């Protein structure tokens, strides 16, 4: 087991510098344009593919970093560049992780390359879980998958919402109910291949922030996929369902939800996104405060501004430490006995909201205009307390973990 350390090794420092350069030179100059256009920044994604950032190999290298710091380090740098464009670059990873976590080796080898495409023809993928009536409450999911044994096909019906790359993706990974009596234990994940009849894009959302990232509904109407598109295969699914039914009969309904455990392990990555956005706002506000003069001196000479910047930096560093600790625990196989994954996401997301608001305040009227990037950063930061579990859900997870009680 790798010991927890705060010093990045030489390879990690090189990767961080490379990503920072890409964020500074490619992402940032394009950020305002794609925020205004509210469209997927295909040219930027293609540039990321050309240099090797938008690829399975790159994310696999960071994912399997034995220190656990590869992913949070990479994510922070990209989101320092711009949250909307960065989410367009990393969004495919959500679907890829779904396949890596649940798929067979054959499924991994078949579908993940199709999610990314190549440098001449980049593709994206979508992970579809949330529904209009099933966001935080995953047990309320209604999308159904019914097995047609005669044709060895699964038939999917339902509507997904808040899907990053939904409808424009080459490959969709869809979570559906296969046994309603088992609640969340009766869910399974399916690959929907390109150009499958019955899958369509519903409403595309016009969002407050992260506007360069495509977010839409995905409508499934009698979507038929081959049996081979059930992630993990039917034999494994049948075994899992049988175990769940047996535990339910034996009074084991309160066993730990595997989906919740997966979310808990992935939440530090969202925390790293928030840290990147907060750091970007802080950096800009710091330089502005050193250059902007009022009453004949830089505004950073005023304690009211200087103390804000001191608090901003302190909170950012504290958030990063929580994210790094949780990431190291996840890769080291250490259990989150105090919901450390949720802690990191909760704290970092709320730090991002506070720090970006302080950056707007430091810039004054300028900070309220789109001529300066902190306005966009503040809008972008709002998403972190909402997606992949709201702040309220994080507090609930932490409280339940600490108390061992089903707090509602």
Token pair, residue 348, equals 């970092």
All residue ranges of the chain with pLDDT < 50 are: 253-259, 261
Comparing CA positions, the residue from 84, 93, 92, 70 lying closest to residue 28 is 84
Q: Which residues have C-beta within 8 Å of that of residue 240, sequence separation ≥ 6?
A: 185
Indicate which residue of 239, 253, 388, 392 is catalytic.
388
Is residue 47 annotated as a catalytic residue, yes or no? Answer: no
At residue 253, the pLDDT reads: 46
Cβ proximity of 186 and 146 under 8 Å: no
Describe the chain by its helix, strand, coil percentages, rounded to 5: 60, 15, 25
Phi and psi, residue 404, nearest 5°:
75, 10
At residue 252, the pLDDT reads: 54
pLDDT digits (tens, 9 = 90+) for 22-46: 999 999 999 999 999 999 999 999 9
Token pair, residue 187, equals 């869910």
At residue 257, the pLDDT reads: 46
What is the C-alpha to C-alpha distance for residues 282 and 356, in angstroms, rounded to an integer? Answer: 7
Comparing CA positions, the residue from 394, 318, 334, 89 lying closest to residue 214 is 89
At residue 266, the pLDDT reads: 73
């Amino acid at each position: 087991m790798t010991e927890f350390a705060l010093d990045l090794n030489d390879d990690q420092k090189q990767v961080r510098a490379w990503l920072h350069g890409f964020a500074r030179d490619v992402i940032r100059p394009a950020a305002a344009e794609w925020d205004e256009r509210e469209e997927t920044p295909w040219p930027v994604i293609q540039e990321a593919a050309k240099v090797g950032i938008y690829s399975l190999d790159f994310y696999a290298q960071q994912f399997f970093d034995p220190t656990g710091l590869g992913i949070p380090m990479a994510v922070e740098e990209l989101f320092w560049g711009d949250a909307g464009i960065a989410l367009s670059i990393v969004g495919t990873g959500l679907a890829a992780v779904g396949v890596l976590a649940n798929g067979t080796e054959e499924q991994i080898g078949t579908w993940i390359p199709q999610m990314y495409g190549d440098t001449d023809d980049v593709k994206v993928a979508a992970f579809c879980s949330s529904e209009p009536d099933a966001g935080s409450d995953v047990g309320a999911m209604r999308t159904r998958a019914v097995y047609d044994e005669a044709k060895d096909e699964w038939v999917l019906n339902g509507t997904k919402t808040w899907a990053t790359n939904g409808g424009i993706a080459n490959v969709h990974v869809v979570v559906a109910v296969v046994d309603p009596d088992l609640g969340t234990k009766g869910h399974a994940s399916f690959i929907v291949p390109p150009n499958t009849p019955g899958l369509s894009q519903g409403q595309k959302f016009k969002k407050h922030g992260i506007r360069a990232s495509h977010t839409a509904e995905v409508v499934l109407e009698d979507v038929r996929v081959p049996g081979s598109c059930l992630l993990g295969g039917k034999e494994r699914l049948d075994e899992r369902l049988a175990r769940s039914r047996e535990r339910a009969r034996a009074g084991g309904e309160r066993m730990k939800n595997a989906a919740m455990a997966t979310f808990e392990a992935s939440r530090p990555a969202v925390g790293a996104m928030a840290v990147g956005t907060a750091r970007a706002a802080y950096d800009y506000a710091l330089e502005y405060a050193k250059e902007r003069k009022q009453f004949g001196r830089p505004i950073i000479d005023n304690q009211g501004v200087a103390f804000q910047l001191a608090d901003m930096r302190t909170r950012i560093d504290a958030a990063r430490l929580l994210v790094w600790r949780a990431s190291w625990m996840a890769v080291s196989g250490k259990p989150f006995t105090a919901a450390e994954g949720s802690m990191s996401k909760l704290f970092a997301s709320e730090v991002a909201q506070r720090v970006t608001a302080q950056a707007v305040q430091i810039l004054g009227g300028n900070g309220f205009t789109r001529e300066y990037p902190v306005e966009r950063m503040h809008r972008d930061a709002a998403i972190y307390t909402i997606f992949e579990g709201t702040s309220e859900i994080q507090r609930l997870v932490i409280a339940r973990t600490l108390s061992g009680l089903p707090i509602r």
